[in-house]
Amino acid sequence: MNELPDDIYAQIQSLSERGNIAMDAGQPEEAIGYWQEALKLLPQPEAQWDAALWLHASIGDAQRALGDLPAALSSFRQAEKSADGYAHPFVQIGLGSTLYDLDEKEAATEHLLRAYMMEGADIFQPDGAVYLQHLKGQGLI
């Protein structure tokens, strides 16, 4: 896979960090803005870059924090299509938990199980006990 030019990578890193700081400060809307700005810097096709994976996943996480589950689902799906997103546990737990919360429990099961298989029960901490219980209730773990 190609590497981003150093100047673009540095700008994306800076915007990403500003987004992380905003998110940690309880300002998910501001965080989303920084991450969306960083996405615009990626050369096309965007999905080829690892940065697209973590930026879309971060946006999805912030959208979940805002309670915008349909938007979060869309962002996590973009993350899954980026780089190796299908094999990333944070993306899988994001997809699974969002689908579950949208009452699409059957669709959620596959993603939750993938996350569990990659990271074990720890990925469900601190707030994911309901999703872990779902897998247990299905007899999958």
Q: Per residue in 81-125, pLDDT tens? A: 998 899 999 999 999 999 999 999 999 999 999 999 999 999 999
What confidence score (pLDDT) does residue 77 get? 98
Would you say the pTM of this structure is higher than 0.85? Answer: yes
Tokens standing for residue 107: 């669709």
Residues 6+ apart with CB under 8 A from 92: 80, 86, 111, 112, 114, 115, 118
pLDDT digits (tens, 9 = 90+) for 39-76: 999 999 999 999 999 999 999 999 999 999 999 999 99
What confidence score (pLDDT) does residue 1 get? 54
* Residue 104 DSSP one-character state: -
Predicted confidence band of residue 3 (pLDDT cuts 50, 70, 90): confident
What confidence score (pLDDT) does residue 105 get? 96
pLDDT at 2 exceeding the cut of 80? no
> In whole angstroms, what is the distance from residue 32 CA to residue 42 CA?
16
pLDDT at 25 exceeding the cut of 60? yes
* DSSP per-residue codes, 27-89: -HHHHHHHHHHHHTTSPSSGGGSHHHHHHHHHHHHHHHHTT-HHHHHHHHHHHHHSTTGGG-H
Contact between residue 116 and residue 141 where contact means Cβ atoms under 8 Å apart: yes
Residues 6+ apart with CB under 8 A from 43: 4, 8, 49
